[in-house]
Amino acid sequence: MTKLTGYNLIGLEGSARGEQTFLAINPSTLIPLDTTFYEATFPEIDRAIVKAEEAFLVYKSIHPEARARFLETIAEEILELDDTLIRRCMDETALPEARLIGERMRTVNQLRLFASVVRDGSWVDARIDTATPDRRPFPKPDIRQMQIPLGPVGIFGASNFPLAFSVAGGDTSSAFAAGCTVVFKAHPLHPGTSELVGKAIQEAIRKTDLPDGIFSLIHGPSEKVGMTIVEHHKIAAIGFTGSFNGGKAIFDAANKRDIPIPVFAEMGSINPVFILPGALKERNKAIAKELVGSFTLGVGQFCTNPGLVVTLKSSESDQFYQALKNETAEVGSGTMLSERIRMNYRKGVKKLKESKGIKVLASSNTPEKENNVKSRVFSTDADFFLRNKDLAEEVFGPSTLIVAAQSKEEMINVAKNLEGHLTATIQGTEQDLAGYTDLIQILERKVGRLIFNGFPTGVEVCHSMVHGGPFPATTASQSTSVGTAAIRRFSRPVCYQDFPQAALPDQLKNENSLNIWRLVNGALTKERIG
């Protein structure tokens, strides 16, 4: 069994030089857990990043098979942790065992998926235009392009996904896959879970005989720890999942550096749901049941919980509201990830309850206690919503706001006035879609993922997934943090002009020894050149 130390993991070593310490708190009992964790000092963070730079010079050029095997070995080591990991994670998050077992498999499967992408190798998007020396009036040079890794990446763990968006989650696995080294800032709500997974990565590095410094794990609840990583001149990019305030502060700091760096921050979303007339008529109660299940999933602590629902006022909408009341009443109170998150949720709920234009439509029947909260549904009309832009802000927790529009035009106006979000959902019939093409065209400019007759909770990890969206949902709307396209966040294109074969990367040489797909003179092929 792996024993927790509370140390920072600087490459393959443990380090505890800091005077500031902290404990994890069990959210169910609010009782501190064992193991004292040491906040990283500036020298420790600097050492981790310097090691990451030194390791990057080697890791960026290793054979794709070695990189793929490293990712697969991390997955194996995480599974080896077995109940030790799940039990500690339950203690630190109050999340149920089944949820965490599922999240562990998602994490493992992400690593294996990226291993397959690396092994295939075509992700580098090799493009080759061979020379035409006798072209007139000027000869055409030989130009060859591919994606190369950026360098050491600083990654921040999320509070609400202690495995899948944490130490070995999507950001880390995609950065490793791209050929980057990682300095990971552990989330202070689950430091023990983070250390266990960090040690699994250390063991994978040892077993695959890779350089010390490919990975480091940094602890610390203070903002200065994270900002030290962001501002360090050897960090080449940042991956972040969390609050808007946190993500925006990191984004601003990264852009104030002497040499600004890209920040891929996912910062929250209200994930609007538009229920069109045909769907409301055909599936009234079913939609209500599924909606309640979605906005209360994980006690509303997913970045994809639907926080806004737009309907047209009608007799069917009145029936829908009643169904929502009935379904919400049956939802039990749930434990939040921390007292601070609970306090912020109650603050958001209080603001809605005290607003003169907002009604409490539904609430859980079970009482709140300690770190538990009720689920709630609020309602208002479109006119009031449009006049109060702060109503479109995320309330992180199990609540949603129903907006009743008087007409299709008013519904469209609500859509037009939305900011960027991760997802938007349309509940409708095919006839509804034919009559609301303008709504679809508006929403596709507002989000990264459009959903038809489903709900946004549950993000499939696959090649085609987009988990991103326009600002303020993210700081980079052209990217995704889930799915294999996430690898492109941590790479950039470079081209080689008139280089001799021996000096080219294997991906761009004539013989194509890696057997990858390449765009050669405008045609996609695996054939060798010449």
Q: Please, what sign has the CA dihedral across residues 517, 56, 463, 115?
A: positive
Among the listed residues 157, 177, 152, the one whose alpha carbon sits nearest the alpha carbon of residue 220: 157
The whole-angstrom separation of Cα 425 and Cα 455 is 7
Q: How many residues does the chain have?
A: 530
Integer Cα distance of 76 and 200 in angstroms: 9
β 376-381/359-363 pair status: antiparallel
Query: Residue 4 contacts by C-beta under 8 Å, 6 or more apart in sequence?
Result: 34, 35, 88, 192, 195, 196
Q: Is 515 helix (H, G, I), strand (E, B) or coil?
A: coil
Q: Kindly give the residue spans of alpha helices, DSSP state H, lying in 312-436.
A: 315-329, 339-354, 382-387, 408-416, 430-435
Question: Residue 185: inside a domain, yes or no?
Answer: yes
- d(C-alpha 512, C-alpha 255), whole Å: 39
| Alpha-carbon span 494 to 190, nearest angstrom | 39
| Distance in angstroms (rounded) separating the CA atoms of residues 309 and 314 | 15
**In which domain, by residue range, is 374 found?**
273-452
pLDDT at position 464 over 90 = yes
Instruction: Tell me how far CA of residue 412 lies from CA of 116, 282, 400, 424, in angstroms.
Output: 43, 22, 20, 13
Q: What is the pLDDT of residues 41-86, one digit of tens each?
A: 999 999 999 999 999 999 999 999 999 999 999 999 999 999 999 9
Question: Is there a single domain that holds both residue 230 and residue 319?
Answer: no
Whether residues 303 and 359 share a domain: the answer is: yes
Asked, for residue 256, whether it belongs to a domain, the answer is: yes
H/E stretch holding 202 reads helix 191-207
CATH of the domain at 66: 3.40.605.10
User: How many whole angstroms from its chain centre is CA 328?
Assistant: 28
Same domain, 255 and 279: no
| pLDDT per residue as tens digits for the range 339-378 | 999 999 999 999 999 999 999 999 999 888 889 999 999 9
Based on the fold, state whether residues 243 and 278 are members of the same structural domain: no
Same domain? 208 vs 278: no
- What pLDDT is recorded for position 209? 98
Residues 113 and 244 in one domain: yes
**Integer angstrom CA distances of residue 176 from 123, 164, 205:** 14, 15, 12
Domain shared by 255 and 286, yes or no: no
pLDDT at 325: 96
Residue 242 inside a domain? The answer is: yes
pLDDT at 368: 85
CATH number of the domain to which 328 belongs: 3.40.309.10
The reply to whether 155 falls in a domain is: yes
Residue 260: exposed, middle, or buried by beta-carbon count in 10 A (0-12, 13-18, 19+)? exposed
CA-nearest of 525, 507, 509, 529 to 517 is 525
Residue 213 domain-assigned?
Answer: yes
Confirm whether 355 is domain-assigned: yes
Rounded to the nearest 5°, which phi and psi values hold at 496? -115, 120
Residues 361 and 392 in one domain: yes
Q: Say if 389 falls within a structural domain.
A: yes
- Residues above pLDDT 70, as percent of the chain: 100
Residue 28, H or E segment:
none
Residues annotated as catalytic (active site), given as ranges: 266, 303
Q: Per-residue pLDDT averaged across 213-242, rounded?
A: 97
Helix-strand-coil split of the chain, %, nearest 5: 40, 20, 40
Residues 65 and 175 in one domain: yes
Separation in Å, CA 39 to CA 18, 250, 457? 6, 19, 34
Q: Cβ–Cβ contacts within 10 Å for residue 143, how many?
A: 15
Q: How far is CA 436 from the centre of its chain?
A: 30
pLDDT tens digits for range 95-154: 999 999 999 999 999 999 999 999 999 999 999 999 999 999 999 999 999 999 999 999
Query: Based on the structure, what is the number of domains in the chain?
Result: 2
| The token pair that represents 110 in the structure block | 């992400």
Task: Classify residue 124 as exposed, middle or buried by CB count within 10 Å of its CB (0-12, 13-18, 19+).
Answer: buried
Report field, pTM of the whole predicted structure over 0.85: yes
Q: Does 285 lie in the same domain as 234?
A: no
Task: Assess whether pLDDT exceeds 70 at residue 1.
Answer: no
SS (H, E, C) 456-491: CCCCCCCCCCCCCCCCCCECCCCCCCCCHHHHHHHE
Asked if residue 469 is part of any domain, the answer here is: no
CA gap 348, 428 in Å, rounded:
30
Give burial (CB, 10 Å; 0-12/13-18/19+) of 326: middle
- Verify that 60 and 193 share a domain, yes or no: yes
Residue 459 has pLDDT above 90, yes or no: yes
190-196 average pLDDT score: 98
pLDDT per position as a tens digit, 249-288: 999 999 999 999 999 999 989 999 999 999 999 999 999 9
